[in-house]
DNA sequence: CTACATACCAATAAAATATTGGTATGAATA
DNA sequence: TATTCATACCAATATTTTATTGGTATGTAG
């Protein structure tokens, strides 16, 4: 067995046994060559083999890393979190989410729907607001994913990010009485039922009604 | 007149006459003091006055700049430009823009509508695709602005950013025959007419039809 | 009281240096 | 002849160092 092949094996082993964790950075070529007691050019040949097998990736000036090279950095877009307000956010949600429900009614998989049902059960059983909110969020998100439009999902998540803000959080907390939660749970069940039976029109209508209820509860009581 | 007041006057004059352009950086306090032949502490008093009047802003380590301090850096969200596709983008546009038109029909100002009309005239008169596209973009943008929802405008702009991509640009170029442009111009006029007469239902319907025409021309001819 | 000169500090920008992978070359060894 | 080694150099990137900037404080002079 050649020097190179020995190095390939040893590096393979070190990666497999977790000595070099996934996504972690390996030592530099110069120090790794010294550590394995081979020349740097031999090491480079071994690394090239491992890279071609998808075990690691290398980048000039950065280093050598375990695993697959991360996807190209996404573009980013500015989000006017400090300039918008709850009313605008609800208005946007009322535009997006009923249409998301239409697409979800057409495109949801059995797995999607199973998870939606899980969210319903967990949300219904929640003992505090934070838990309820978490499952509420998860439900809306899986519906958005079920729409199967990457861009639309990104926009949905951006809107959610704005909702996550502190000023908004206080409104949520004060609004979510037990009575209202019960009503939202019923509305959630109806939405998921409509999606499951592939009824796009009902999905849209029920989502719109749910969001109007949320909006009215939130805005009328406090403004 | 005191030394400080003289400095305030002189700096005021230099800013007003454009010697220090809007948003540009002034020389450092040390060199400005030397230039005006006053002490740095006197200059600082003059700068403080001008800053309190909104003429300029100062930041430790960065410098002194003409005009108002820019808004705090927005939060950003990732935009999946490399993961979406023309079909998804059109689907999202068909969700957003008809609803934007509804809001614009309710909320557009006379100034908005005047500018919409200007876009129509300029788009109609365009002699090449790039110019037409520019006025097309400006029209859609002023409609989105007329909806008067900051968050919705941000989402609209995000979708536009994705549209601006190279792979997308080629599709646009091949699709825009003279005949099609003529048809789009007519559709644009109808959309603006509906917005102007505050007819939300027609605005929505006409926008949807326009976008469907664009989508069909774009996707059917090439896929 | 105003203005000046000077010293020092925190925040930021710019410049310099170090580190990383990539390529090339020539010599030694099996 | 193929493999391995040692060495040199370069481009890309990261880190460190130095310079610059506004901010504050102090003491002196008019």
- A175-211 pLDDT, tens digit each: 677 888 889 999 999 999 999 999 999 999 999 999 9
User: Which nucleotide across the nucleic acid strands is nearest to B3, CA versus C1'?
Assistant: C3
Higher pLDDT, B141 or A172: B141
Q: Does A166 touch chain B (CB under 8 A)?
A: no
Residue A75's pLDDT band (cuts 50, 70, 90):
low
Q: Does B151 touch chain A (CB under 8 A)?
A: yes
Residue among B96, B151, B161 minimizing CB distance to A84: B151
Four-point Cα dihedral B162, B167, B169, B173, nearest 10: -150
Q: Is residue A166's pLDDT more than 50? A: no
Distance, Å, A102 CA → D13 C1': 47
Measured at the alpha carbon of residue B152, what is the angle toward residues B105 and A71, in degrees to the nearest 5? 145
Question: What residues in B contact A80, CB-CB < 8 Å?
Answer: 74, 150-151, 154
Measured in residues, chain B has a length of 223
CB contact under 8 A, B75 and A79: yes
- Domains of chain B are 3-66 (1.10.10.10), 86-220 (1.20.120.530)
> Please, where are the H alpha helices in chain A?
3-16, 29-36, 40-52, 86-107, 110-125, 129-146, 150-163, 166-175, 178-196, 200-220
pLDDT score recorded for residue B179: 84
Residue among A71, A80, A103 minimizing CB distance to B74: A80
Half-sphere exposure of B88 (CA within 13 A, CB side): 17
pLDDT score recorded for residue B166: 41
Residue among A72, A75, A80 minimizing CB distance to B150: A80
Q: Is residue B14's pLDDT more than 60? A: yes
CB contact under 8 A, A78 and B81: no
pLDDT score recorded for residue B167: 45
Compute CA distances A197 → A31, A104, A110, A163, A183, whole Å.
Answer: 61, 11, 11, 30, 21
Mean pLDDT of chain A: 87
Spatial distance between the Cα atoms of A138 and A124, rounded to a whole number of angstroms:
13
- Asked whether the CA dihedral B102, B104, B108, B114 is positive or negative, the reply is negative
Cβ-proximal residues to B180 (8 Å cutoff; 6+ apart), any chain: B217
Residue B109 burial by CB count (10 A; 0-12/13-18/19+): exposed, middle or buried? exposed
Helix axes B166-175, B129-146, angle to 10 degrees: 110
pLDDT score recorded for residue A179: 84
Residue A182 burial by CB count (10 A; 0-12/13-18/19+): exposed, middle or buried? exposed
Which residue is it, tokens 């220090």?
B20
pLDDT score recorded for residue A165: 53
Question: What residues in A contact B81, CB-CB < 8 Å?
Answer: 74-75
Alpha carbon A33 to its chain's center: 39
Average pLDDT estimate for B54-79: 82
Question: Which of these ranges, A84-98, B27-41, B161-175, has the smallest mean pLDDT?
Answer: B161-175
pLDDT score recorded for residue B10: 94
Residue A167's pLDDT band (cuts 50, 70, 90):
very low
Q: Does A42 touch chain B (CB under 8 A)?
A: no
User: Which nucleotide across the nucleic acid strands is nearest to A26, CA versus C1'?
Assistant: C20
ipTM over 0.85: no
pLDDT score recorded for residue A79: 72
């Amino acid at each position: 067995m050649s020097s190179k092949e020995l190095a390939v094996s040893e590096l393979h082993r070190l990666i497999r046994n977790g000595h070099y964790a996934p996504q972690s950075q390996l030592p530099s070529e110069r120090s790794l060559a010294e550590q394995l007691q081979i020349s740097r050019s031999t090491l480079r040949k071994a690394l090239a083999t491992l890279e071609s097998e998808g075990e690691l990736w290398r980048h000039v000036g950065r280093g050598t890393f375990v695993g697959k090279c991360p996807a190209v950095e996404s573009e980013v877009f500015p989000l006017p979190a400090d300039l918008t307000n709850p009313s605008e956010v609800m208005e946007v949600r009322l535009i997006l989410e009923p249409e998301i429900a239409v697409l979800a009614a057409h495109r949801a998989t059995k797995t999607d729907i199973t998870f939606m049902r899980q969210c319903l059960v967990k949300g219904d059983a929640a003992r505090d607001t934070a838990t309820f909110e978490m499952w509420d969020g998860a439900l809306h998100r899986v519906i958005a994913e079920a729409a199967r439009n990457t861009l639309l999902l990104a926009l949905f998540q951006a809107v959610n990010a704005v909702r996550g803000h502190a000023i908004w959080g206080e409104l949520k907390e004060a609004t979510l009485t037990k009575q209202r939660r019960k009503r939202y749970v019923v509305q959630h069940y109806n939405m998921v039922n409509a999606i499951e039976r592939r009824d796009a029109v009902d999905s849209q209508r029920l989502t719109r009604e749910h969001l109007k209820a949320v909006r009215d509860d939130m805005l009328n009581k406090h403004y």
